[in-house]
Amino acid sequence: MVFCAVDSINTRQSIWRAVEDKVNCFVDGRMSAETLRVLTACDSKSRKHYPSTLFSAEEAYIGPCTAKTTIYCANIAAGLMIAQFTKYLRQLPERVVDALGKMWQRSPVLCEYIGTRRLSGNLPFRVIEDVVIGIMFREKFSRLHKIPKAGFNRIVENAKMRGIDPFYAVYRNLLTDKDQLRPYWEKGRRWLNAYCLLLWEAQNKRLLAEGKRKPATGVTFTPRKFTTPKHKKRKIPGTIYLNQGRYYWIVSGKMKARPLIDPRTKRKVPGNFILDGGRYYWWVPGWLKRQRLVRKGEEYSTKNRAAAEKIACKSWKQIKKDNPRLANKILKHTRSRGLATKDKTFAKKIAARLWRQIKKKRPELAAEILKEQSRPKRKGYWRAQIVAGRKHRHIGNFKTRAEAEAAYAEEFERIWGYPVGYSMRSIPKLDKVWPAWEEEKVRLDRMSVLLLKTRKALSTRSSFSLLSI
């Protein structure tokens, strides 16, 4: 794709020679004062015609200096060049646009239709048939390279005289391979969808110009309401919170959650005591197997709980002495230190004691915690996001509403290719609005079945009437 908007005709000739065989669409904008011309080369005919518009520099018109500052004319030329590019993308010739515009004006059903929803009943099928028969074939917008032209004209005229649908007559009588009409049908529905897209764009432009359409609600700007908090001098920083009935203390971003353990629940030894057959055993799940608790001079485990605890304490001290690495792992991964308290007042006392220990043993951490607590609260922000169906695309957070709206407008135009305010939910969609060839084939086959039934019914009625005479 090349847009050519240079001053010299010689430069245009050089550009055309360089890209003639490489570019699919070449749009050339020419202007002098308040006169403009836009030339497009996108197919074989226009490519042959474009070199004839090039001439020597001596033949070029030179306008006066006072008429050169006409920026409004340059803007119009740029708009026309973009329009030519969009028509090339949609493969919609200008003659087709004019023909479809006349068709829309003649039909009371289509006069206000812009293709946002599918027409009811057989109307969408008939519209495509009218495009294929009346515009594509009659006005020679498409070559009849696979369809015999003389037979086509005869069948259409006979169908009109007999009051039969011309497209149905062509489908039944002209071709043995019915799928030869598929490319014409697909091209007709693409033309209609492209024309509806033009109408949809014009409607959105008009509504935006009249101020009847606000920017889409797909973006939400949510301010975070805040009030300047009155900082209270707390004895303990962070938060004491309740989890499953027990209290924990956490300083966000600086310290992990710590259970506020009641010293009364602290165990002398980790693990559990098991009573099996009236005798006590000690084990630490995952770390130590079941240990027998045997008194001196006895052969089996004791039956006394107090004696069992004393023996377990001696065994635990021996493990800490002989295998300190295992002892540290057991203490780290078991609740040997006790359980968090359920009393709030007692939890505050434990948290205060832990905070004093941190200030004494880790003064650097305490200074960081106090510095973080003295910072002002984060201010509110504007959040911009685009909603497409059930998907939310987060754009970013911004300090002001104007910044968020500008970022949303830029992202909206980048994704959809249209400015903010266009209703993207109602954009014409080819497969949802215009039926495919498979649907048309099913419909035409049903019509043939109905015609056979009606002919049989008419023949039986005529036979009965002759008998009565």
102 and 61 share one domain: no
Closest CA to 100 of 108, 88, 92, 89: 92
**195 & 114 share domain:** yes
Average pLDDT over residues 211-220: 65
Query: Poorest-confidence range of 123-137, 187-201, 216-230, 416-430?
Result: 216-230
CA 174 to CA 151: how far, in whole Å?
7
Residue 441 lies in a domain: yes
What is the per-residue pLDDT for 95? Answer: 77
Query: How far apart (Å, rounded) are the C-alpha atoms in residues 352 and 42?
Result: 81
Residues 73 and 256: their CA atoms lie apart, in Å, by 68
Percent of the chain with pLDDT over 70: 84
Angstrom distance (rounded) from CA 429 to CA 293: 81
Asked if 92 and 131 touch (Cβ cutoff 8 Å), the reply is no
As a whole number, mean pLDDT of residues 272-293 equals 86
Dihedral angle computed from the Cα positions of residues 189, 190, 191 and 197, in that order, rounded to the nearest 10 degrees: 110
Strand partners, 391: 388
Q: What is the mean pLDDT of the chain?
A: 80
Which pairing describes strands 239-243 and 391-398: parallel, antiparallel, or unpaired?
unpaired
Q: How many residues does the chain have?
A: 469
- C-beta of residue 50 within 8 angstroms of C-beta of residue 28: yes
Q: Quick one: tokens of 398?
A: 């911004």
Per-residue confidence (pLDDT) for residue 221, from 0 to 100:
61
Nearest-CA neighbor of 348 among 448, 206, 242? 242
392 or 81: which carries more pLDDT confidence? 81
Radius of gyration for the chain, computed over Cα atoms and rounded to the nearest angstrom: 43
In a domain, 402, yes or no: no
Pick 152 or 438 by higher pLDDT.
438
Count of structural domains within the chain: 2
The per-residue pLDDT for 464 is: 46
Asked if 30 and 103 sit in the same domain, the reply is: no
pLDDT digits (tens, 9 = 90+) for 6-52: 888 888 889 988 888 888 888 999 887 778 889 988 877 788 888 88
pTM for the model: 0.53
Instruction: Residue 44: give the domain boundaries.
Output: 2-90
Output 62 or 279, whichever has higher pLDDT.
279
Return left, alpha or beta for 389; rule: phi > 0 is left, psi -120 to 50 is alpha, else beta.
left
Residue after which a domain boundary falls, among 45, 73, 90:
90
* Backbone torsion region of residue 392, taken as left when φ is above 0, otherwise alpha when ψ lies between -120 and 50, otherwise beta: beta
Q: Does 340 score more than 80 pLDDT?
A: yes
Q: Which amino acid is residue 289, in one-letter code? A: K
Task: Assess whether pLDDT exceeds 60 at residue 469.
Answer: no
Q: What angle do CA 438, 441, 445 make, to 5 degrees?
A: 145
> Is the per-residue pLDDT at 69 higher than 60?
no
**197 shares its domain with 124:** yes
Domain check: are 11 and 76 in the same one? yes
With the C-alpha atoms ordered 122, 128, 134, 137, is the resulting torsion angle positive or negative?
negative
Torsion of CA 438, 439, 442, 448, to 10 degrees: -110
Per-residue confidence (pLDDT) for residue 228, from 0 to 100: 46
Residue among 151, 153, 24 nearest 88 (CA): 24
Residue 166 above 50 pLDDT?
yes
Position 25 scores a pLDDT of 87
pLDDT band at 138 (very low <50, low <70, confident <90, very high): low
What pLDDT score was predicted for residue 244?
86
282 is a domain residue: no
DSSP 148-188: -HHHHHHHHHHHHHHT--HHHHHHHHT-SSGGGGHHHHHHH
Torsion angle, CA of 302/303/307/309, rounded to 10 degrees? 90
* Residue-level pLDDT at 436: 92
Asked if residue 111 belongs to a domain, the reply is: yes
Is 361 within a domain?
no
pLDDT in tens, 85-131: 877 776 677 778 888 888 898 888 888 898 889 998 889 998 998 88
- pLDDT band with cut points at 50, 70 and 90 for residue 422: confident
Name the domain boundary from 62, 90, 118: 90
Instruction: Among 57, 90, 123, give the residue marking a domain's end.
Output: 90
